[in-house]
Structure formats: C-alpha cells, structure tokens
Amino acid sequence: MVGSGTFGSGKEYGELTDVKRLGAIVSKTITVKPRKGNLPPRVVDTPSGMLNSIGLENDGLEDFIADKLPFMKRFGIPIVVSIAGDDPDEFAWLAKRLKAEEIRAVELNLSCPNLNKKIFAQDERLTREVIKRTRPATQKTLIAKLSPNVSDIGIFAKACDEEGADAVSLINTVIAMSVDIETARHRLGNITGGLSGPAIKPIALRMVWEAYNASNIPIIGMGGIMDYRDALEFIICGATAIAAGTANFVNPGAACDIINGLERHLIQKGIADINKLRGSLRV
C-alpha cells in the first residue's frame, strides 16, 4: 500500500501508475475541521532522506466525504482512511462517521511529529485511551500508527494489541531538523520536522522486529522502503504488509514496481506463499 500523505487521493498518481494494483490506498490524514498546516518552508532535502513539516493540512472530514472519497472509490481497491483528533473522543467521532462500505480500515494517526503538542503515541496511557474509545465506534479494521520517537516500541505495540487494535503501522517519521550555516537559521518553518526515506530504514526495521516479538497483531511496515528488496527485509522482520511513502515522490510507480519485484523474487526462489517469509529472521 502507500503511506498516508504521500499519495493524496490518487488523482495525480492515477495518471502515472496503475493504482488498481495496490493492496490498498491510504488517504492523507483527515481531521474534524480543516487545518491550514504549518508555516513554510515545509519540505527540505537531507542526505538519503527528506524532512517535512506539513502539519496535517487538510480540508476536513466533510470535504473528504463529499469530494475525496468518491474519487478514491473509482479504483475499486480497499480504502484506508487516516484520521487524527485533538483528543480520544475526536478520534472516536471521526471513526464513527466513516461508514462507507469501500472504507475497509481506519488508521489512527497517533504519531504525527509536526503539531507542536504532545504526541499520543509517546504516551502509553493516551495510546490505550484512544484505541479504547475508538474501538466501539467502528466495525472497520482499526490500525494504530506508531511513533519511532519512543524508548521501547514493543510496549506500545503490545498496548495496541491489548486494547483491541487489529493492526499497527510503523514507523512514522523521526523528529529531526536541518540548519542553514550561512544564515544560522532552521530550514523548516516549523524548526523541526519528520525525517523519512532511506535514512530511517534501519531504525524502522529494528522497530518492526521488536513490535513483531512483543505483540500478536499484524504489522504494516514502513520507513525508507524504496524497492522490493527493502520490502522483503521488512517482511522477514515480521511485517504482514508494507507501505511505500517517500519513494512515491521519487518514482510515482514505486509501489507497483515493488509488487512486480516481489512477484519475480518469489518465482525465482520457488516460494508459493510470501507469508512463509514473514518473521523468518534468523537470530
């Protein structure tokens, strides 16, 4: 699938790649009311990665239901809607409103690092509270998106499992910054932002492996996946599914290229079921 915020609703990418081949399309994170986002500059290149500080800019729930969702339905593939709230009740309210049959899952964005306030996924109690409030509000598959900016990702994966989440997705971006030495100023308008791309893959792999060993629910692995080899590493570490994010900015067809590469690899190795590779890391 594709990472939230990296594929929009598929309008632009639909002209460049076969979106219907994806396992799912994941929406940009939506909130109850429209958000303007953070001050520019919002995106900065870094070695082997990218910094962003968008700040969850979006047109709100009502616009998503009226405009974005009808377009996403055209692809005929499962839709995952990423949501964020200011408190647990907002998460629950949003999840309850997303009733369309085509919406197969709701992803709780507990881990956006660009909002200048406490990150839910950095507090085990708050993580549990959001899932506890949201679980009764929807029959959809419930995915909790976790943060790498914690000391022990296993604790949070286990908490999500215990509170009724159906899956976890990890990792979100790593809090980072960039500085202009000529002006001695920060390059992002928000000072800090989220680092993504190949630079964070080793961190993401380690955390997927830790979450796999700490919980019993499926993991959607993400963080620096650029090709099928990267995807295989995540699956070997325990991921049931993977999401390509920053790769979409470099190559609009990255997700489909990864699918093709995985198919070729399985055929070459004589592997009939990719699930046989999941969690096969030898230690």
DSSP letter at 102 equals T
Q: How far is CA 246 from CA 43, 84, 205, 229, in A?
A: 12, 21, 16, 16
Assigned token pair, 141: 């598959």
Cα–Cα distance measured from residue 42 to residue 55, given in angstroms and rounded to the nearest whole number: 9
How many other C-beta atoms lie within 10 A of the C-beta of residue 276? 12
Cis peptide bond N-terminal to 41, omega within 30: yes
Residues pairing with 145 in the sheet: 109, 169
Q: Is 196 helix (H, G, I), strand (E, B) or coil?
A: strand
Q: Alpha-carbon Rg of the chain, whole angstroms?
A: 18
Nearest to 207 by CA among 165, 257, 148, 120: 148
Q: Is 112 a catalytic residue?
A: yes
Q: Considering the candidates 112, 160, 237, 256, report the single residue annotated as catalytic.
A: 112
Residues near 43 by beta carbon (within 8 Å), at least 6 away in sequence: 50, 51, 52, 53
Cα–Cα distance measured from residue 102 to residue 205, given in angstroms and rounded to the nearest whole number: 31
Q: In the chain, how many H helices and how many E strands?
A: 9, 13
Residues pairing with 244 in the sheet: 2
How wide is the angle at C-alpha 27 spanned by C-alphas 89 and 91, nearest 5°? Answer: 5
How many other C-beta atoms lie within 10 A of the C-beta of residue 272? 9
As annotated, the active-site residues are: 112
